[in-house]
Every structure is written in structure tokens, then in C-alpha cells.
């Protein structure tokens, strides 16, 4: 009986340490964009910046997250404001073009020149935030067709 109680206590402690699902807004893309996003999100790596993958709320094939505070990944987002402005910059990480927007708690990166927009919101805790892009670039190249290279 004592072993059962210790085992149960151990499970409770472990459950208390792992974060539950994190809220991530779900976009409403066109059906063909949603269909293209599902395999991309499913193929995302188990870790980003050594942070483990976790569930999102509501559960969606368009979102995933990593760590605590969460690195949020959303596929099928709209074109970000500011991307078309002259001062917007495209930079490449392992062959994938990105647009970066600084926000109060970190940086939001959005793919540029690909068939669909994928957004990765990286909190300042993970500085330098752009390092997260190294972990996802191979999946993006495989599942998100290049239309126009970064210039």
C-alpha cells in the first residue's frame, strides 16, 4: 500500500510540474490553406530551443506551442501589418525568409515568399529569439512551398 501511495504522489508532483494546454488563437484560413497547414504543423519538431512541444487550447491542427512561457506557432495567418512597407526587412535562416516584428514580450516571425504564412511568436526569455527559426526551418522548407526568395 505504501508503494502505491508513493507512486501516486510522484505522479501528482510530475503532473503539477508540466504545463497544461496553452491558449493560442486559431486563424480562419481558406480551406486549401488549412489543408496545407495541417501536415506542416504535424511535422513540427518535438523541441524548439530545447523547449518541449505542448498542446494548445483550443486544440487545432493549425497551432502548436513549446515551453513555458510558450513559443506559439500558428499556420494560416493573414499577412502581417507592416510586411508590405518599404522598411520591412526579409532575412533568411537556413533558406527560409522571415519578417520580424518586435512586440512587448518578444518577437513575432512570419514566413515570407512561401505558399502559406506561418507565424512563430517567441518570448524574450528565449533571446536571441531568431534562434527558434533554426529549429523549424527544415520543416518549413519541406511543407511550405517557396514562391519568391528573400531579396
Residue 105 vs residues 17, 108, 138: alpha-carbon distances, Å: 23, 10, 26
pLDDT classification of 101: cutoffs 50, 70, 90: very high
29 vs 117: CA distance, rounded Å: 10
Amino acid 82: pLDDT: 83
- The pLDDT of 42-66, averaged and rounded, is 98
| 62-91 average pLDDT score | 89
What's the confidence (pLDDT) of residue 18? 61
Mean pLDDT of 18-38: 94
The pLDDT of residue 3 is above 60: no
- The whole model's pTM is what? 0.86
Render 117-146 in DSSP notation, one character per residue: -EEEEEEGGGSSTTHHHHHHHHHHHHHS-B
- Among 91, 90, 89, 126, which residue's Cα sits nearest to residue 106? 126
pLDDT value, residue 88? 64
First to last CA, the chain: 67
Chain mean pLDDT for the chain:
88
Amino acid at each position: 500500500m505504501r508503494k502505491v501511495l508513493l507512486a501516486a504522489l510522484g505522479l501528482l508532483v510530475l503532473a503539477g510540474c508540466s504545463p497544461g494546454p496553452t491558449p493560442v488563437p486559431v486563424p480562419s484560413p481558406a480551406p486549401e490553406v488549412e489543408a496545407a497547414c495541417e501536415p506542416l504543423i504535424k511535422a513540427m519538431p518535438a523541441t524548439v530551443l530545447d523547449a518541449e512541444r505542448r498542446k494548445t487550447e483550443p486544440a487545432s491542427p493549425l497551432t502548436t506551442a513549446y515551453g513555458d512561457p510558450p513559443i506559439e506557432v500558428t499556420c494560416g495567418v493573414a499577412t502581417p501589418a507592416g510586411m508590405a512597407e518599404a522598411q520591412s526587412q526579409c532575412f533568411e535562416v537556413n533558406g527560409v525568409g522571415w519578417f520580424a516584428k518586435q512586440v512587448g514580450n518578444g518577437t513575432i516571425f512570419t514566413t515570407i515568399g512561401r505558399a502559406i504564412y506561418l507565424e512563430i511568436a517567441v518570448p524574450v526569455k528565449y533571446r536571441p529569439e531568431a534562434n527558434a527559426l533554426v529549429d523549424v526551418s527544415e520543416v518549413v522548407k519541406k511543407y511550405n512551398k517557396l514562391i519568391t526568395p528573400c531579396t
